[in-house]
Amino acid sequence: MKVLVTGGAGYIGSHTCVSLSDSGYDVVIVDNLCNSSIGMVKGVEELIGRKLPFYQVDICNENELDAVFEKEQIDAVLHFAALKAVGESLEKPDLYHRNNVGGTEVLLKVMKKFAVDKLVFSSSCTVYGQPEIIPVNEDAPMLPAESPYGQTKQDCEKLISSSGLNSALLRYFNPIGAHPSGRIGELPIGVPNNLIPFLCQAVAGLKDELVVFGDDYPTDDGSCVRDYLHVCDLAEAHVAALEQLPHGIRAYNLGTGSGTSVLGVINAFEESTGESVPFRIGERREGDIVAIWADPSRAEKELGWCASRKVGEALADAWRWQQTL
Ligand code: NAD
Ligand code: UFG
């Protein structure tokens, strides 16, 4: 089976290309490299031991996407390509809509044209906002999006739901870590917003210190709680979703099923790497969700997938990757 991976040069897409290839799929990558580099494709090729067809194409460009589908006999699509910075989306909402929603519209149109009816989509737990019940399951209501980025995920889920394709909507919780080889990982472009890249840069001496955004929340230690999952577990979930693709549409939470606080992450990092994390407690970050973690039981039951790696392992892998940068 030949799988087109949009955004395959990115953080999660690149790890998924390795898992797909390990499971015997032929992989074709489309990426415009707006948030990645060709080095990531080379890293994937090194890990799998062969070259991959790579097209530097913007998915918003219908003619160029048509040409890829004409050249390759695509059987299914894993769709990662999107802009993902919440802060930037507040400054450039139109760009986010055009790229993420517009790009998905073009992709769906081209898939229809070429009679490709299998799609796995990268969604996010951001569609739930702060849920009333934790752990959150897929039947929880979607709350009004807190950012234009979050809005694009809700809009794309709706578009795909009405497309008639057989699709899995994968709602990721917090992907962290890197391939244990240290060959692929998350590329730091600008100042990282996310906890783990910032923490790693602070430990590497590239930032003075990590600021913990608030320790007065109603959680066990006062800091916010998230469900951090290893990017390799997440990559494997995509293979499982492809293999058990539903007829029609189905959403799946992808998380570990347990929450870790920011202070808990710092402790786990120190324990698993032996490095100490320079940090101080700062103000709350506006708009932060207090606590969320997944109920991943649907993915376990229907896809046969569950996260197997521990947070400490993911943090050690993130640190190994940081040291290669
Ligand atoms: P990433 O930025 O590393 O990867 C996205 C890739 O898509 C990049 O390589 C980028 O160059 C490419 N891209 C963007 N717009 C494109 C376009 N118009 N045409 C072609 N290529 C384009 O991000 P990631 O962390 O790997 O995220 C992958 C997907 O998962 C995204 O859809 C993101 O919204 C979603 N997601 C990510 C997280 C997270 O925390 N990383 C959480 C939930 C959901
Ligand atoms: N945090 C800090 N200091 C930092 C960075 C983060 O204390 O320098 C804290 C945050 O307050 C939060 C936790 O670390 O409590 C995780 O923050 P991230 O920014 O890494 O992750 P979020 O869960 O806030 O957001 C992420 C993605 C969003 C996505 C959301 C749900 O950044 O794009 O998960 O998928 F929408």
- pLDDT (tens digit, 9 = 90+) per residue, 256-288? 999 999 999 999 999 999 999 999 999 999 888
Per-residue model confidence as pLDDT tens digits over 194-250 = 999 999 999 999 999 999 999 999 999 999 999 999 999 999 999 999 999 989 999
Which domain, by its residues, includes 35? 2-177+228-255
Q: Has residue 201 been placed in a domain?
A: no
Computed on alpha carbons and rounded to an integer, the radius of gyration of the chain in Å comes to 19
Q: How confident is the model at residue 179 (pLDDT cuts 50, 70, 90)?
A: very high
User: From CA 312, how far away is CA 93, in angstroms rounded?
Assistant: 36
**Can you give the pLDDT at residue 192?**
87
Question: Which CATH number does the domain housing residue 114 bear?
Answer: 3.40.50.720
Q: For residue 192, is it within any domain?
A: no
User: What pLDDT digit, counting tens, does each position of 126-178 carry?
Assistant: 999 889 999 999 999 998 888 999 999 999 999 999 999 999 999 999 999 99
Nearest to 68 by CA among 122, 111, 34: 111
How many CA atoms does the CB half-sphere of 214 hold within 13 Å? 17
| Mean per-residue pLDDT of the chain | 96
Q: Which of 27, 32, 35, 28 is nearest to 83 (CA)?
A: 35
pLDDT of residue 287: 83
Total domains present in the chain: 1
Output the CA 285–ligand 2 centroid distance in Å. 9
pLDDT at 188 over 80: no
Q: Which ligand is nearest to the CA of 192?
A: 2
Q: From CA 185, how far away is CA 177, in angstroms rounded? A: 7
3-state SS class at 38: helix
**Residue 59 alpha carbon, nearest atom of ligand 1:** 19
In a domain, 78, yes or no: yes
CA distances from 43 to 49, 55, 107, 314 (A): 10, 16, 26, 19
Residue 191: per-residue pLDDT: 83
Does the CB atom of residue 13 touch ligand 1 within 6 A? yes
**Would 89 be classed as within a structural domain?**
yes
Q: Does residue 217 carry a catalytic annotation?
A: no
In a domain, 165, yes or no: yes
Q: How many CB atoms neighbour CB 96 within 10 A? A: 25
Determine the pLDDT at residue 286: 86
Q: Is residue 120, in this structure, part of any structural domain at all?
A: yes
